[in-house]
Amino acid sequence: MKLAYFVNQYPKVSHSFIRREIMALESLGYVVERYALRTDKDELVDPLDQSELKKTRYVLSEQPFKIVFAFVRTFYASPSVLYKSLKVAISLGVRSDRGVFRHLIYLIEACVLLQWEKTAGIEHIHAHFGTNSTTVVMLAHLLGGSHYSFTVHGPEEFDKPEFIHLAEKIQHCKFVVAISSYGRSQLFRWIPASEWHKVKIVHCGLDAAFLAQKASKIPKTSRQLLCIGRLCEQKGQLLLLEALKQLHDEGISCKLILAGDGSMRGDIERRIAEYQLKNEVEITGWVSSEQVKSLLLESRGMVLPSFAEGLPVVIMEAMALRRPVISTYVAGIPELIQHGKNGWLVPSGDVNSLKIAMQELLNASATDLELMGDYGFNAVIAQHDADKEARKLAALFSETVA
């Protein structure tokens, strides 16, 4: 079967789960074309992402005359179909936060995608994220393209479901994937019960090589905690620094590594200086998958005090390496972290609870940490094996095409 994947930005530093999913499908014998609107290649530090860059075709990299030609060709193939799709695009734009003009651009991009699908003989196309990438795929379908499905991650889709027309996208698709039970419940909120059967759960996962790594004990002397993620409001790094300051003021020493980069780096650096934590905190910038793995193995545990999430893959990676995780009661996170068993869950935004959890992690015995690590590893094996999850997705694709 010949499939296509369509993503707004691919490859991307924080989207390794999409790469793993595609590669797992290819190992099952599927041919997968990669399509995207754009990429920020300057951020890519992982060799696997750089390899995917060469395999991906970008709408916004097409020469202008080719984009115009795709639109004209679509018009001549069926003016009435293009007119109906144009009405849909305008209707979506009027009732969205992006506006009519942006949706007219999506329609033109859909014409380009449509021609690619026909040329490549695509039997089904799958999008990631229920935002503009799925808008383009849906419009391409209405123009006469292949059937489609898409994966919803959150939190963005759940923040503005009516503005991104989530219900309409599910109405036209063959099926929609949620990455957690929480995600499925949020989709149920916005569609009639008669369409609930379209909502499937397929978890993001880790590949066999990652899961096959030998257990590595936490270094006995390690006082290092690791936070992995984009430096932005929703990841809660400012709250984390506040908790760290409280520990520091109480004479409890530890090292905090912030692995990532983003729009809030300047704010975070200023807060580090204000709290006099320059010797306790290090910001790495973007790092490769291998560097993330090395940082996790050097650390006592991972902490991710997010305010909004889907279900972060970095939590799976930490637990697969037998490192306990501190995170929040947000979205799908409690479906993986069991408080006191393989990590700690704290109320989102509660700096005191976060500080206490960090202190408990730092004070935990080697025996307790090893036991928590084993529980965490088993939870990831059971729920987040990329090959197993890809087989679920492949079955859905086969059923759809059949």
What are the contacts of 61-64 at 24+ separation with CB within 8 A?
Answer: 62/112
What does the pLDDT read at residue 292? Answer: 92
Mean pLDDT of the chain: 95
Q: Is 328 helix (H, G, I), strand (E, B) or coil?
A: strand
Domains and CATH numbers, the chain: 2-205+385-401 (3.40.50.2000), 208-383 (3.40.50.2000)
Q: Is the pLDDT reported for residue 157 higher than 90?
A: yes
CB–CB of 75/98 below 8 Å? no
Q: CA–CA distance from 1 to each of 28, 31, 130, 203, 396 (Å)?
A: 10, 6, 24, 22, 12
Q: Rounded to the nearest 5°, which phi and psi values hold at 349? A: 85, 0
CA 166/CA 258 separation, integer angstroms: 34
- 111-128 residue pLDDT tens: 999 999 999 999 999 999
Please name every residue paired with 228 in a beta bridge, in sequence order, or none if there are none. 259
What percent of the residues of the chain are helix, what percent strand, and what percent coil, each to the nearest 5? 55, 15, 30
CA 77/CA 229 separation, integer angstroms: 46
Considering the entire predicted model, what is its pTM? 0.93
CA 92/CA 84 separation, integer angstroms: 12
Proportion of the chain above pLDDT 70, given as a percent: 100
Which H or E run contains 282?
Answer: strand 281-285
CB atoms within 10 A of CB 392: 14
Strand ranges, E, within 129-212: 147-152, 175-178, 199-201
Burial class (CB in 10 A: 0-12, 13-18, 19+), 105: middle
Burial letters 4-18, b for 16+ CB under 10 A, else e: bbbbbbbbbbbbbbb
Q: Is the pLDDT reported for residue 356 higher than 90?
A: yes
What does the pLDDT read at residue 402? Answer: 82
CA 259/CA 298 separation, integer angstroms: 13
- 262-315 residue pLDDT tens: 999 999 999 999 999 999 999 999 888 889 999 999 999 999 999 999 999 999
CB–CB of 252/362 below 8 Å? yes
- What's the rounded mean pLDDT across residues 49-68? 95
Per-residue pLDDT band for 1 (boundaries 50, 70, 90) equals confident
